[in-house]
Each structure stands twice: as C-alpha cells, then as structure tokens.
Amino acid sequence: MNLILMGLPGAGKGTQAERIEDAYPIAHISTGDMFREAMANGTEMGKQAKGFIDQGQLVPDTVVEGMVKERLAQKDTDQGFMLDGFPRTLAQAEALETITKDLNKPLNAVINIDVKPAVLVERLSGRYICKNCGATYHKLYNPTKVPGTCDRCGGHEFFQRDDDKPATVKNRLKVNIEENTPLIDFYQKRGLLFTVNGDQDIDLVFADVQAVLKKLN
C-alpha cells in the first residue's frame, strides 16, 4: 500500500499521518525526516543537499528527487510507504511517477484531507498568548476559563504572533492552494485521488481514511 497524504496547513494531516502509521505496517516518509536522515547517513544525495543548505540555497528538485528515490529503495518500504510533504510541484509528481515505476512500487492512492480555507483561517489564526507570562491559548480549542483573563497569571493583555495573524494565514493558505491544485488535478486524472472531509471530529476523519484504505486491500 503506497500512499501520498495531502492537506493544507491546519487540515490535520499530521494527526492522520500518525494514526495511519500506528495502524498500518508502512513507512511514513516526511520530507523533513528524509533530509535529516540522508544528511546524517552521509548518502550521496544527502551530501549534495547539505552543500546547498550550508550555503543557504534551496535544494534543487533533482537532488530532492534523488533523495526520494534513495529512501523508497530502502527495505522498510517493501510493505508500503506514505509520503508526506512530497511532491509539492507538478514536476516533482511526474518525477515520482518515474521513480515508483523504476522501483516497481507504484502509488495506490493519494488521500487529500479537505477543509474549507475559511475554516482553516479560523483554526490557524485562533492562537493568542498572554503578554505577561507567555501562556498560549486558542479561541476555539483552548480558550481562557474566564474571558480576557489568563488562567496562569491573571493577566489581561494578550497578543498574536505575526505568523498567526489572519492576513498572514490567508497568504500562507493561498500559496499552498496554488501549489496543491495542479497536483490534485494530476492525481484525479490518474484515478488515484481520494478526498476526505477534514472538517469533522478527528476520529471520524480517520474512519473515512480507513474506509479508503480498505478499498485498496
């Protein structure tokens, strides 16, 4: 069972990735972990990537794709894998198609956890911090017990980090939507795309993911 897991920031992709990893004997491959592992192991592609990173440059697609091929060739992917964070572009998706064909490990499904952007803005921009003691809250998931009063120190002044402000969140989502849309079209045309409603309880999202995975067995 070879998968790609997709979802915009705040859609709950990380949580679902953990649950899939716990429930199925497949390798979870996130791009961040893959980079760190390749560089730590001193693989050929890891050395190349480190050279670019050390110079403060972006790692070229050819090197990223080489690292993906190295990783997918490892034995722990023989029972299956789940890619998280790759591909990000159409060119990478096309390269992955070639890689999986060369390794005889074709993709079985692309699971897209779908949540409306307006809901994601609310989720991602809901965090606020006590100016006095630094306690962190969320207006939806972890509000103060008494409105406007910090549970920890009793302070009344709060602030938002720039990354959490609605305008910043909207821009971040816009960039991700622009990246994801061509990929969704690409995998839809290949009959690999399964869309799961991420705007529901975490357990219900995972139940829908499992329903997709059962179809593959």
Residues carrying an active site annotation? 13, 88, 127, 161, 172
In angstroms, what CA-CA distances link 134 with 39, 123, 127, 139, 158?
A: 35, 20, 12, 16, 9
Q: Is 27 labelled a binding residue? A: no
Does 95 count as an annotated binding residue?
Answer: no
Annotated binding residue 31: yes
Q: Is 160 annotated as contributing to ligand binding?
A: no
Q: Do the annotations mark residue 131 as ligand-binding?
A: no
Residue 24 assigned as binding residue: no
Q: Is 195 annotated as a binding residue?
A: no
Instruction: Dihedral sign for Cα 24, 25, 26, 29, please.
Output: positive
Q: Chain-centre distance of CA 133, in angstroms?
A: 31
In this structure, are strands 136-138 and 127-130 parallel, antiparallel, or unpaired?
antiparallel
Ligand-binding site membership of 13 (annotated): yes
Residue 17 tokens, joined: 């990735």
Report whether 59 belongs to an annotated binding site.
Answer: yes
86 marked ligand binding residue: yes
19 is in an annotated binding site: no
Assigned token pair, 62: 């050819």
Q: Is 123 annotated as a binding residue?
A: no
Q: What is the DSSP string of 188-205?
A: HHTT-EEEEE-SS-HHHH
Do residues 26 and 19 touch, judged by C-beta distance below 8 A? Answer: no
Distance CA 176, CA 11 (A): 12
**Beta partners for 133?**
none
Tokens of 152: 């920890």
Find out whether 155 is annotated in a ligand binding site. no
Distances (CA, A) of 60 to 8, 63, 106, 172: 23, 6, 24, 22
Residues annotated within the binding site are: 10-15, 31, 36, 57-59, 85-88, 92, 127, 130, 133, 136-137, 150, 153, 161, 172, 200
Residue stretches of the annotated binding site for AMP: 31, 36, 57-59, 85-88, 92, 161, 172
Query: Binding site residues for Zn(2+), as ranges?
Result: 130, 133, 150, 153
Binding residues for ATP: 10-15, 127, 136-137, 200
